A and B are shown apart, each in its own frame.
Chain A
Amino acid sequence: MSIDLRAHLEQASHVLAAAQRGDREAQSIIFTAHRDRIAQQILRMTGDPASVDDLVQEVFIAAFLALPGFRGDSQLSTWLYTIATNKVRSWWESQRRRRARELSYAPAGDASSPTPEDDMMAAQQRDSFYDALGSLPDRLREAFVARAVEGLSLCEAAEALGAPISTISYRARRAEQLLCAALGLPWRGDAE
């Protein structure tokens, strides 16, 4: 191991230990190091830029509260990924409730602002995709997002979601099948 790398790792473990004790500076370092990646992950998982700020805040508050119990079994980034996944799961749940309320009380048409046609098509496709994604059961959605949207390998996804590789593989595939059905896309999984 090179001296630079060792020094870096030692520094990282000092920062982690200080953050576990509730040190403000150390928590700030961790937040700055992981903020953008978590924000991107949340955006890819929800498709809703307006919710990113709130969810980032929720993720880091939850992480810092739970940090004293972090034993280092996994990498900090993987651990944060898991927390973000849980927060996004709650977010989808609240979205489902909100949409159900909206459908019951406000049957008005789409109020989105006019955009050029191409953009609008793409926006519609994105909305359809995230609508279909939101309708999936939590575990299927999480496995699918980890694999197909986040681009995690089966190993990484299994570690982040705390499930065996075969389970992740099955869930992601099942989610893809359901998404294809919901979006009117041909399912090509059985042809393999």
Chain B
Amino acid sequence: MQATAFEQLNETLYHEKLENGLNIYLLPKAGFSKTYAVFTTRYGSIDSHFKVAGGQEVHVPDGIAHFLEHKMFEKEDRDVFQQFSQNGASYNAFTSFNRTAYLFSSTDKVEANLDILLNFVQEPWFSDKSVEKEKGIIGQEIEMYNDNPDWKVYMNLIKALFQEHPVRIEIAGTIESISKITKENLYQCYETFYHPANMMLFVVGPFEPEKMLQVIRDNQGKKTFKPAENIERIFPQEPVPVKEKRIEEKLSVGIPKCYIGFKETKLGQTGTDLLKRELSTKIAMDVLFSSSSETYQKLYEAGIITESFDYDYSSEKDYAYSIVGGDTPDPDKYIESIQQAIQDTINKGVQKEDFERSKRKKIGQFLRSLNSIEFIANQFTNYKFNDIDLFQIVPTLESIKQQDVDQRLREHFNFDQMAVSIVRSAAANKE
């Protein structure tokens, strides 16, 4: 087991790769009450087209990764919810564009809970009957998202930005697409993506790392896995231009929502380069839009943005995009103002004070996020899948120069790569 100490942060991280290929990371946190464990597979809604063992190409129904996540909890001989509850654990699972994660936290019986977690994720059992039953439940989950304007405005923006890339697929699928899911599909996806070599286990909490590792080793030692095969995911070539410049949808909302997005074109980096691109872009966005920026103050004063205003940059190796948005009484005015602000900042360049202030703020934000063991576990895993080390954030931030941010500002905020998404009520000025 390899230990890495981060002295300034007063943290030590342990890593071990088992023979079956599973990567394990352990972060002991003395003084905390609960332990949090997350078991993640590198498999999400974008993995909809791939080659199965034997080389045959398959397209699977939209929403299957999420459906599989639901069905992993069902077993022939036991009820996983009940098992966890018996040990007092809180547990959950989630599916995103590129991963599926299963997790629990508990203050007691941590080792038993860890066994439950590893076992239920590594012992699939699907039946025709239970697959049918789940369609009703997930159908209601989909309807819930259909009524959620935040989700709508976000997903519509992704669909406007991307022409071909499967990131544009709804994570839960549609009622129509999930109706086609069968237990055979589920097994096929499971066999392809749930091999230990495609997964990562992160455990954080008040434990002895050696002892914890032994529990995991013992559990994994009892199981046999086929040799890991190389997973061939097939992604279409994403054209440079956005699919649509503007999408509008009607939903009953008190105030319209408007998101502006930019599709990244500079792709393919991994590791530190990718982290540097992400952090430089985030600093550029801070300079443009943070609550201490001129733009924010002006637009807030003018009532064009509200306290819901936010911005973010999502960064993966093969797709990335920024989003700037929130509630606005006047979407067109909002779009025009944001574009103007970006153009003005590009023209005059990033100012030194703004750059330094944002860097300092990012360091503070990172320290604060380390109070949350849930954040550490999930963010560490997400980064590791892109060969990035979460604990390199501060040194990477320190390495970023003003001209890096200036360059990102010009590179990323290209109006040809921009799309907008609006959600508003059918009746204007309802109530």
Q: Do A and B bind each other?
A: no
